[in-house]
Structures are given as C-alpha cells and as structure tokens.
A and B are shown apart, each in its own frame.
Chain A
C-alpha cells in the first residue's frame, strides 16, 4: 500500500515518533515515503532506505495552510492511500487539514493498525486504556494519528540527502518564540519518571519530587490538573493530551489515576503509587502501592537514599 509518513524533526534529526511509525511501515512491508516538516537549516533526516522530502517552513509565520497544499498534492500525484503521523501538535493539525482535502475522516489515538489487501483497520485505546476500540476504514484514503510509543523506533542510518521544498510566508506572523528550557532527563526517554498530582497539595511541595528526581536521575512529569493549574509547563504533562511514557520505573506521587492520566503511563514496566486514598484507581495499575501521604513518604525516601 502506497504510504506517506509525516515526519518531524527533534534535535536536528527525525523524532522518535517518526521513527516508530517508520518501523511499523517496515514491518508491514508498506511502500512508504517520508515527508518531513520543520524549520531546521540542515537536518539529518535523509536515508538510503526511503524517499525523504523536506518541507522547510520558516519560523517567521504560520504556514500550515500552504504546507497542507503541498502534502495534498504529493498524495494525489503519487497515488498515496495511507497517511500516517504521530499524535503531536504539528501532525494533528496537518492530518486534520489534509482530511478535508481528501474527504476522509482521520482516526485519532491509534495504537496499532493492520493492513489486509486494500483495507486498513485500526485499534484505538479508549477510556484511558481500559478498552480497545477496533474499526475499519471504508474510504480510499486512510489517515491515522498514531500515539507515540506504540511501536519501537526504527534503527535506520540517516544522512543529509533529500529533496527540499520551501514554503512562502503567510500573513500570520510569528513574533515571539519561546523555547522551554530542557534540563535533566527528558520524559520520553528517561528510565525513571516521577509524576506529581493534586495530592502534592501545593506547587511549593514539588521541591521534594525534584530532590528525589535528582537522586534517581529521573524525569519529572505531572497530571493534567497540575499542568492546568500552572505548576508545570505543558511539555511535562503525562496523559491522553500530554506525553506517553514507558519507563522502567514510574513513581506516581499523589495521583488518583484518572483515565486521562492512565493512558500516558500504564505501560510503564514497574509502577509505584503513593496516595492517601485507598480506593484511588492508580492502585489498580500499581505493582507497588503505598496508601499514605506523599508529603510524608517522599522526604523520608530522600533522606534514606
């Protein structure tokens, strides 16, 4: 099946989400090419294993409408039936726009898919990962938004050889770009993740989580509730609308375990949960559950490490 993978760039190379989709395309023996959208000057995204086209946008204006026109043209010119992107800010926008051009509704939150001849069927995780929802796509084009960490990343050698298409600026100028400072281990690839929830009571109390994270070389995450409350930037949110993590050890501090959160962490290898409420849903996922006050347990761990 002729397939187009929407690629994204992180740290000058293909993002892990992109590499995960490439792996799936390889495993399914799909006839795929990659179209990567970014603003880097000289990214390392080309490969001998697949055709790569770089749509280079400037960071000076929002050009998504023009980027979409280019992608739709490639899809039509090359007779592509399957379009895959990671569930990121950028790909969600692009796949949505393209779906209107192709008159084919996309499937969001896909965690796996199967190809049988011309038919694509998808598996989504619903109710925070409590159930799997299977459906079959009945239109000529299939557009899938795949949740990160659904597949292992492909191991491909990347180079700087690819075709580049430039995009004109639009009327919507971007005038202030802020890059969140990223220090310490990053959520997506850290072996240990410590997440905080409402049970931390106050933003000030996050220092004890930070102390523990420093001792364990862990990344710090948070629930939607505390991110909405402004305790942490959105980039640290773990859950349905945030990041998906699969660390070796996940420590949930004062997190009740709303389905929104569970979907982002339930596949962690070992889950430790600390929560006052014995009935909190997080304990169903936990390999080790401590019914107690996070604010008293964590400082004692810190003192004893």
Chain B
C-alpha cells in the first residue's frame, strides 16, 4: 500500500500573519501545520497494520524545510515537494492541481489531508484533489478503526456516519480524532537521512490558472473598550446585574 500525506509548511502560528499584496509572507523557516499531524498519524497507523510506505508531498516555499523534517521525524519515509515562484499566492484549485499531480508520481493508493490549513483556511483542497484524481473523497474523518478492514467515522452536520475505507481514496482528517505521536531523539536523528526530493513544476501537468485578483486588506477596529473589572470575590454581582439589565433574567 502506498499512502501519501499532504503536509504544508506554514509560518509559526505563534506569530502574527502578515500579508504582502494579499499574499501571506512566508519566512525562511516554516513549521509543519499541526493540522497535518493528524493525517500523518493516521497514515502511520495504517503503515503499522498494512506494511505501507508513507510519502509526504508538499507545495510552497521550501526554505529551511523544517516543516518537512518534522513530518519525517514523526515516521514518514520520504518527501517530495514543489517550490516554484510562479505558484506564489496560488489559489486552492491550482494548489490541488499541483498536489494531485505530485500524488500521481507517488502511485498513491490513499491520499490523506488535514481538513484545512491553519494559515489559509480555504478547506477545499482535499476534495478538489479527489475530483482531479477521480477518487472517492472521505471528508471530515474524525475517527479510524483498523482491523482486517478499516472503518472511518465522518463528521456530518447532524452527527457522524461510518464508511469502510475504499482501496483507493482521498481522506481528510479533522483534528482530535487521533493523538499525533511525538518523535523521540532516535526518530529525529533518523529523519535526517530520509530523502527529500524537489520535483520541478515543469514536469507536472498543470491545467489551472489564477482567477482571483487581490483588491485590498482592511483592518477592522474590533476593540470595544468595554468595562473591565478585576474580581476580588464580588464580580459575579456585576454580571448578575448586567444580565438583569439585558433582560436575560
């Protein structure tokens, strides 16, 4: 079984996101999007059961490749990435186009994603990739049970539903369903010798274009300068009074 996991390198979420002409500014050193750790964990659990190979694919400025290293440290076997200036600010469809083509080069049976990246939040790329690859998409997976068969529990608006994992499919994983593993020192050292290979964009079949023109970013004044009270044991009364004033009680 070949399992391919899409992983995104993102600016450290602890820092404020900045934009240049509508495009997120990406520092040299980016980190693995935490959202992707859930997908990698599921891939590794499948690998333990079915003797699979786990390949990471990624698109975006490679920089120091810290994020890709972090993915390999968790236990993925190798990584392929595309880093091309022409993809700067690529829309979700182009991103999905590139990742689909990369997934093809890995002969993936199963392609796994987080549901949405922490920096972009479009939440459409996994589904778009499934359509490009003509595979079933099992979206919003929040739990996995691995026996002789694999069953996936999908989140729905009303609750959840289970499906048997098809032999070939795209899966998007929500946070929280599995507990991503932490690499130990040995894993971290082992990752250093795992292959990370750059794939040239020109070798991929790209059929999509940019279709979104940036106009502006406007900061909103959110601060309300509301009343702020330090609780010294009696602040509850202020809330009770306010709730009465607002006619909640």
Contacts and interface: CB of A to CB of B under 8 A. Distances in A.
Interface of A: 8, 10, 59, 62, 64-65, 68, 87-90, 92-93, 95-97, 99-101, 103-109, 121, 126-127, 129-139, 145, 170-180, 191-192, 215-216, 224, 227-230, 234-235, 240-241, 248-249, 251, 262, 266, 270-272, 274, 278, 283-293, 296-298, 300-301, 304-305
24 contacts: A64-B137, A93-B137, A97-B131, A99-B92, A105-B212, A108-B121, A108-B123, A109-B122, A126-B217, A127-B16, A129-B222, A134-B214, A135-B213, A137-B211, A215-B249, A228-B175, A284-B222, A288-B227, A289-B227, A290-B238, A290-B239, A292-B230, A292-B235, A301-B240
A107 B236 CA distance: 44
Given A178-B161, A180-B159, A249-B246, A131 B219 contact: yes
B160 to A, nearest CB: 5
Contacts of A285: 222-224
A133 B249 contact: no
Contacts of B96: 100
Contact of A62 (B94, B158, B163, B218): B163
Contact of B174 (A93, A234, A251): A234
Nearest to A128: B222
Given A92-B124, A241-B116, A290-B235, 20 more contacts: A90-B157, A96-B125, A97-B127, A103-B207, A104-B211, A105-B92, A106-B124, A129-B222, A131-B219, A136-B212, A137-B212, A137-B213, A173-B164, A174-B162, A191-B248, A286-B226, A288-B226, A290-B238, A305-B240, A305-B249
B139 interface: yes
Interface in B144-172: 151, 153, 155-164, 166, 169
A297 B239 contact: yes
Given A105-B212, A288-B227, A172 B131 contact: no
Contact of B208 (A103, A215, A287, A301): A103
B230 A291 contact: yes
A103 B173 CA distance: 25
Nearest to A121: B215
Nearest to A139: B211
A100 B132 contact: yes
Given A135-B214, A173-B164, A288-B239, A89 B156 contact: yes
Shortest Cβ-Cβ A-B pairs, 4 listed? A292-B231, A96-B127, A105-B91, A105-B93
Contacts of B12: none
B25 interface: no
B208 to A, nearest CB: 6
Nearest to B155: A234
B128 A100 contact: yes
B121 A272 contact: no
Contacts, number: 245
B166 A171 contact: yes
Contact of B139 (A93, A103, A179, A251): A93
Contact of A170 (B127, B136, B231, B243): B136
Q: Is the interface of A mostly helix, strand, loop or mixed?
A: mixed
A65 B224 contact: no
A103 B248 contact: no
Most A CB within 10 A of own CB, among B93, B208, B218:
B93
Contact of A132 (B160, B220, B226, B231): B220
A248 B246 contact: yes
Nearest to A215: B249
Most A CB within 10 A of own CB, among B115, B164, B211, B235:
B211
Nearest to B38: A228
Given A105-B94, A108-B92, A291 B249 contact: no
Contacts of B16: 127
Contact of A88 (B126, B157, B246): B157
A184 B116 CA distance: 31
Given A136-B215, A289-B227, A305-B240, A97 B155 contact: no
B49 interface: no
B237 interface: yes
Contact of A133 (B22, B116, B123, B175): B22
A300 B131 contact: no
B94 A216 contact: no
Contacts of B107: none
B186 interface: no
Nearest to A230: B176
A236 B236 CA distance: 25
B47 interface: no
A67 B155 CA distance: 19
A298 to B, nearest CB: 8
B236 A104 contact: no
B127 A291 contact: no
B242 interface: yes
B230 A93 contact: no
Nearest to A61: B163
Contacts of A278: 228, 230
